[in-house]
Amino acid sequence: MMKVLRLHSRGQLQLHEEAIPVPGEGEVLVRVRAVGVCGSDLHWFGEGGIGDARLEQPLVLGHEFAGEIASGAQAGRRVAVDPAIPCGQCEFCQQGTPNFCEHLRFAGHGQEDGALREFLAWPERLLHPLPDNLNEADGAMLEPLGVALHAVDLGKLRPGMAVGVYGCGPIGLLIVQLARLCGATQVIATDKLPHRLEMACELGAEAGILVQQGDEAKEVLAETGKHGVHVAFEAAGENAAVETAIETTRPGGRVVLVGIPADDRTSFNASTARRKGLTLKLCRRMKHTYPRAIDLVARGCVEVRSLVTASYPLEQAEQAFAAASRREGIKVMITPNF
């Protein structure tokens, strides 16, 4: 038997004893070691769903995770786990965009149980071996790093650009680092929380602007010049951040929307975006990013370990979700099997 944490309704997590799953064809058993609490997990926890997906049955959350293979020829190998299971057969999979798969299964979403349990069976092809210098929490951070990589790919950054990152949770902080790696000469970050801005500046942001009186757009423009940034990344999931991105991006620039709004609505001043001829991109999870993410962290190009600021055992998951909901620290990790 194993311990399993299920979300039964909004804010209602319950720990269960359930049978250890039996791997199917192409699957292996994974002993889960580390699970990050993501903003989308908080949507499920606080709102009973995300977007048009609603909680229909008790669901195991958790899609940022790593662990150890517990069956088969590779038993004992430490791995990061890609939470997305594409069908491989639909038009979008065949075109190389599995994040748009028509039949995608995703850990901790809809009908697909996630990683907040001691064991799960998962397709072996979606397991990525961890180098010796990465621990399991590092491995769990590869999923948000993958999202950040995909967002930066959509932004088409080039050396010499000015970049805005609006929202400095884990993904925003990873985008700050990636923007610098891409050669951005100026990275401006905004957030409501001072400690997150401090981290952004430690990781490469030139300026951290506190969101308080609605003047952050003016402050960004004061830092970057009247035309603003070349590329803006909205990573807050709040409409005010979207509006700031539109207002502070220079004509011909790009705005990448990464955050997930609680009310499933996004709006902005259309005339501003139209007159500037802005290109808007929306970030849908990630694709083909795990090998790059592993290499970036293993070589010390991207820092993930310092972003993990709290860790809780599975039995204290309610405290973990409460801390994450209060936006304490940066990333809250839950550690089954430790």
Please report where in the chains the tokens 């997906």 appear, as a residue.
53
Q: What's the chain's average pLDDT?
A: 96
> 145-282: what CATH class?
alpha beta
For residue 148, what is the enclosing H or E element? helix 142-155
Please state, in angstroms and rounded to a whole number, the distance separating the CA atoms of residues 242 and 245.
5
pLDDT score at 2:
98
Residue 338 has pLDDT above 80, yes or no: no
Above pLDDT 90, what percent of the chain? 96
Mean pLDDT of the 11-29 span: 97
pLDDT at 337: 82
| CATH 3.40.50.720 domain residues, the chain | 145-282
Question: Could you count the other beta carbons within 10 Å of the beta carbon of residue 179?
Answer: 27
Task: Give ranges for CATH 3.90.180.10 in the chain.
Answer: 2-141+304-334
52 pLDDT above the threshold of 90: no
Q: What is the mean pLDDT of residues 185-214?
A: 96
Q: State how far the Cα of 221 lies from the Cα of 227, in Å rounded to an integer.
A: 7
Does 94 score more than 90 pLDDT?
A: yes
Q: Report the alpha-carbon distance of residue 215 to residue 264 in Å, rounded.
A: 25
The mean pLDDT of 118-122, rounded to a whole number, is 98
pLDDT for the residue numbered 262? 85
pLDDT surpasses 90 at 315? yes
108 CB-contact burial (10 Å; exposed 0-12 / middle 13-18 / buried 19+)? buried
Counting every residue written for the chain, the total comes to 338
Distance of alpha carbon 116 from alpha carbon 277, whole angstroms: 44
List, for residues 215-251, the tens digit of each pLDDT value.
999 999 999 988 999 999 999 999 999 999 999 999 9
Q: At what angle do helices 216-224 and 239-248 cross, to 10 degrees?
A: 30
Checking if the pLDDT of 271 tops 90, the result is yes
Strand extents, DSSP E, the chain: 2-9, 12-18, 27-36, 49-50, 53-54, 64-69, 78-81, 84-85, 105-106, 119-123, 127-129, 162-166, 186-191, 207-210, 229-234, 249-257, 279-282, 308-312, 331-334
Handedness of CA 312, 85, 152, 181 (dihedral sign): positive
The per-residue pLDDT for 41 is 95
pLDDT tens digits along 125-168: 999 999 999 999 999 999 999 999 999 999 999 999 999 999 99
Structure tokens at 24: 């199917």
What's residue 226's pLDDT?
86
Euclidean distance between CA atoms 104 and 82, whole angstroms: 12
pLDDT digits (tens, 9 = 90+) for 318-334: 999 999 999 999 999 99
Q: Which residues of 19-52 are buried (b: 16+ CB within 10 A; e: fewer)?
A: eebebeeebbbbbbbbbbbbbbbbbbbebbbbee
CATH number corresponding to 2-141+304-334: 3.90.180.10
- Confidence class for position 214, pLDDT limits 50, 70, 90: confident
Regarding pTM above 0.75, the answer is: yes
